[in-house]
Chains A and B, each alone.
Chain A
Amino acid sequence: DQQVKQNSPSLSVQEGRISILNCDYTNSMFDYFLWYKKYPAEGPTFLISISSIKDKNEDGRFTVFLNKSAKHLSLHIVPSQPGDSAVYFCAATKNYGQNFVFGPGTRLSVLP
C-alpha cells in the first residue's frame, strides 16, 4: 500500500525553465509534508516543507503547493539550474513528526 506516490520516475528540463515535481498521497491523516533532494552516494537533504494548514510555502527558487482536497502537492523550481539535477523525494508525516512515509522519488535532470 503506497501511501505517498510520485508517478513520474524521471523528468528532464532545460536550464532556466521551470521544473514541476508532483506527489500524491492517500492518507488524510498526514499533516506535514517535506521535500528532500538526494545526490548519488549521499543521504537525502531537506529542501522545503509545508504544513497542512497552508497551501503554499516559498523559499528562494523553491515553492511547494498543497491541494488538500486533491491530496496532491507539487514542488516548483524556478529557474532550474544544472546543480538541481538529483533525485527528489516527497515525504509525509502524521502528528507533526511521527510515521514518516517517503515516496519513490523523481529523478530530475536539468540540461544546460
Chain B
Amino acid sequence: EAGVAQSPRYKIIEKRQSVAFWCNPISGHATLYWYQQILGQGPKLLIQFQNNGVVDDSQLPKDRFSAERLKGVDSTLKIQPAKLEDSAVYLCASSDIRGQLAKNIQYFGAGTRLSVL
C-alpha cells in the first residue's frame, strides 16, 4: 500500500513570496490533515478535511494560508505572502474513517521543509 505522498521535499523562498505544497493521501482515506511543525515543537494542526469538506480550520492563519481538497482526494496548501515565521516542516496526514478506532490513526507523509529568507 502506497503511503502519503508530499511534494516538494524542500522549498526555499524569500519573504512576501508565495508557495504551494501538494499532498496525495493513502487511497481510500477520507480524512486529510495539514500540520505545521516548527523546529523543536510538536506538529500543530492547521486544517482537517473530511472528503472535500473542512472539519476544523481553527488554527489556520486565514489571512495568508489557504487549503483546498478538490474531489476529496489530493490537497494543496498555499501560503501567500510568506513570512519568516512560516519556516517549518509542513506535514500532511490521512486517516480512514471506517471503524471507530481506525479513524484516529493518522499516517504521515515525509513533509515539506520550508525555509523563508
Q: Do A and B bind each other?
A: yes
Q: Mark A84-112, 1 if CB is under 8 A from B, else 0.
A: 00000101010011111111110000000
Q: How many residues of B contact A (CB 8 A)?
A: 28
Q: Does chain A have a CB within 8 A of B17? A: no
**Is A105 a contact of B105 with CB atoms below 8 Å?**
no
**Partner of B105 from A4, A34, A98 at Cβ < 8 Å:** A34
Inter-chain contact A98/B40, CB cutoff 8 Å: no
Complex CA distance for A89 and B100, rounded to whole angstroms: 22
A59 an interface residue at 8 Å Cβ cutoff? no
Interface residues of A in 37-79 (CB under 8 A from B): 41-46, 49, 51
The answer to whether B42 and A100 touch across the interface, beta carbons within 8 angstroms, is no
Residues of A within 8 A of B101 (CB): 32, 49, 51, 96
- Are B106 and A46 neighbours in the complex by a CB distance under 8 Å? yes
**Complex interface: chain A residues within 8 A of B108 (CB):** 36, 43-45
Query: Is B20 interfacial (CB 8 A cutoff)?
Result: no
The answer to whether A99 touches B43, judged by C-beta atoms less than 8 angstroms apart, is no
| Contact A49–B42 (Cβ < 8 Å) | no
Cα(A32)–Cα(B35), bound, Å = 19
Give how many A residues have a beta carbon under 8 Å from the other chain's beta carbons: 26
Shortest Cβ distance from A51 into B: residue: B101
Q: Report the Cα distance A6→B32, complex, angstroms.
A: 26
Residues on A with beta carbons closer than 8 Å to the beta carbon of B109:
43
**Interface contact B42-A97, CB-CB below 8 Å:** no
C-alpha spacing A42/B31, complex, angstroms:
20
The yes or no answer to B56 lying at the interface (CB within 8 A) is yes
Interface of B with A (CB < 8 Å)? 4, 31, 33, 35, 40-45, 48, 55-56, 91, 93, 95, 97, 100-101, 103-111
A-B CB contact pairs (8 Å), 6 listed: A41-B110, A42-B110, A43-B110, A44-B108, A99-B45, A100-B48
Seen from chain A, the residues whose Cβ lies within 8 Å of a Cβ on chain B are 4, 6, 32, 34, 36, 41-46, 49, 51, 89, 91, 93, 96-105
